[in-house]
Amino acid sequence: MKIITVENYQEMSRKAAEYIVDKVISKPDLNLGLATGGTPKGVYKNIKEDHKKNHTSYEHVTTFNLDEYIGLKQEDPNSYYQYMYENLFKHINISLTQTNIPSGLNENIQAECTEYERKIVDAGGIDLQLLGIGSNGHIGFNEPGTPFTTKTHVVDLALSTKKANARYFDKINEVPSQAITMGIQTIMNSKEILLLVSGKAKQDAMVKLLSGVVTENFPASILNQHHNTTIIADEEAMELVKNMSYVR
Ligand code: F6R
């Protein structure tokens, strides 16, 4: 894994957006994997600003989001569909038909999982997957203990994840208990991964990730075995790993 340390959240967001825009310019039909949450909001803001200023085109880009809550309607302000629409899709020239987010409303949720995997494969796989990390090491909604072999599947959210995400809801009991997520294998099949890490809350996660120990108890640790992963982390997130000798 290649690590780029930057000063702060703004710098991380700017660098990551630049990274993604460069990929889109060199491969206009990029299959781009996207994440939600607090971490990538600044990246999307920078992509939006670049689009306005430099007219980078997303006309031929196809996107695949990592995950979605089960049971929230698309128009629910907390659905990841709304998040993506408000933070990115409505600001760039991408047709919504080229954006893919697993549906947490399909009555046959197993069929939805199979279909989502098929769509990714049919598109030729994900070229670049953007990731955030949970403080418990989750990637997508793959919580600790998830087998590394999983494809898109349904998960019960860990209490720590519900607590972390409760900030977006009125009450913690409004946070859905389940989500549909790309599996760890799905994520690992991406040709390239860009992991963003910012802030104090992720310091312990960085120590575990960079210890090099690969364990299903810390899902992101599998990224140590991905051949093309770049981490952009800010100084605060890197605080505890400063003195670790990371060799990979
Ligand atoms: C979001 C996702 C999650 C988040 C993680 C970190 O689509 O898949 O794994 O990346 O929960 O969330 P933030 O960025 O809010 O700290």
Residue 247: the pLDDT is 44
Q: Whose CA is nearest to atom 8 of ligand 1?
A: 140
Active site residues: 67, 136, 138, 143
Q: Say how many Å lie between the CA of residue 67 and the centre of ligand 1.
A: 10
Nearest Cα residue to 84 out of 71, 98, 198, 164: 98
Question: pTM of the predicted model, to two decimals?
Answer: 0.96
Looking at domain 2-237, does it have CATH number 3.30.70.2740?
Answer: no
CA 188 / ligand 1 centre spacing (Å): 17
State the DSSP code for 53.
Answer: H
Enclosing H/E stretch for 81: helix 80-87
pLDDT, tens only, 143-179: 999 999 999 999 999 898 899 899 989 889 999 999 9
Tokens of 233: 């982390």
Provide φ and ψ at 190, rounded to 5°.
-60, 145
- CB burial readout 160-196, b (16+ within 10 A) else e: ebbebbeeeeeeeeebbeebbbbbbbbbbbbebbbbb
Token digits for 65? Answer: 């989001």
Kindly list the domain boundaries of the chain, sorted by start residue.
Answer: 2-237
* Alpha-carbon span 32 to 62, nearest angstrom: 6
The residue-averaged pLDDT of 189-197 equals: 98
Residue whose Cα lies nearest atom 10 of ligand 1: it is 132
C-alpha of residue 115 to centroid of ligand 1, in Å: 23
User: pLDDT (tens digit, 9 = 90+) per residue, 30-54?
Assistant: 999 999 999 999 999 999 999 999 9
Contact 183/152 with Cβ under 8 angstroms? Answer: yes
